[in-house]
Amino acid sequence: MSFWPTQDHWSVEIPLHTPHLRVDALNDTGFVQLSDMPTDVPSSEWESLEYMDWKSGGDTNFAPIASADGELDCRGFWDKGKTDKDALWTSNAEIAPTLREYVDGVGANFGRVRIIKLEPQDREVAMRSIHRDDNNRFNPDDEGWVVRSWVELTDNPDSYMLLMDNGPDGLPDPATERRVPLPKGARFVVDTQRLWHVVVHNGDSPRYALITSFESGPALASWIDSQRATATV
């Protein structure tokens, strides 16, 4: 029997409905696909960084590029009493100027910025790590809801981010399953506090991606609108 989360899963307690300001583009499905990464990112910007042993969503390592206090630290901002916003660049940012400029160029308040290095995992293994994020702990109700954005750095067209919305029981609803392919340059924004998510990585080498927390608000909304993938007719 494959793993499936139950009411005892820690994600079930994470708030779903709150007064925080949301971005309209995410209201419907909690997901928006952007056009492919417009700039070329030199591989040294993810290969030469300092990685920390930090497990989240599988066999992972993370290289923090911006953190709560500028230290190379993967712990949640809440460990330092801080919302996942107003991040400071770490020493890794000096090695990744393209990525730093990219994040700055969004114009929205950002929290943790990091590279994930994920070892291959098939769907059965990945399902054990499906979860919702606690992105908005300590976030005042009158500020913007924190969501996450991805840029795929390595080319993994056979891998995908598995997303599921909540059923009435607060557990993932299989009828809402979505598979977001992860070729090089793919970009998307996910309300990861709302959607259950995990990456199925059908490869034989690690997958690298840039993950950034952004605060919802006018700046993020207009950036998403300017970057949305144009629908093909």
| Residues found near Fe ion in the complex (CB under 5 A) | 133
Of 70 and 76, nearer to Fe ion (C-beta) is 76
Residue nearest Fe ion, Cβ-based: 133
Measured distance CA(74)–CA(18) in Å, rounded: 26
Using the minimum distance from each CB to Fe ion, give the nearer residue, 213 or 227: 213
∠ CA 188-192-193 to the nearest 5 degrees?
A: 155
Tokens of 209: 């991606």
Least separation in angstroms between CB 176 and Fe ion: 17
* Minimum CB distance to Fe ion smaller for 31 or for 95: 31
Task: Say which residue the tokens 């417009």 belong to.
Answer: 38
For residue 211, the minimal CB distance to Fe ion (Å) is 9
Tokens representing residue 53 in the block: 């042993």
Minimum distance from residue 230 beta carbon to Fe ion (Å): 28
Token pair for 162: 């598995």
The closest alpha carbon to 195, from 26, 23, 39, belongs to: 26
Is the Cβ of residue 73 or residue 133 nearer to Fe ion in the bound state?
133
Q: Cβ of residue 192: shortest distance to Fe ion, in angstroms?
A: 5
Number of neighbours of residue 6 by Cβ within 10 angstroms = 9
Q: What's the closest the beta carbon of residue 197 comes to Fe ion, in angstroms?
A: 6
- Measured on CA atoms in the order 150, 153, 157, 160, is the torsion positive or negative? negative
Based on CB atoms, which residue is closest to Fe ion, 133 or 215? 133
Please, what is the minimum distance in Å from the beta carbon of residue 112 to Fe ion? 11
60 class by beta-carbon count within 10 Å (0-12 exposed, 13-18 middle, 19+ buried): buried
Which value, in Å, is the radius of gyration of the alpha carbons in the chain? 17
Closest CB to Fe ion among residues 58, 95: 58
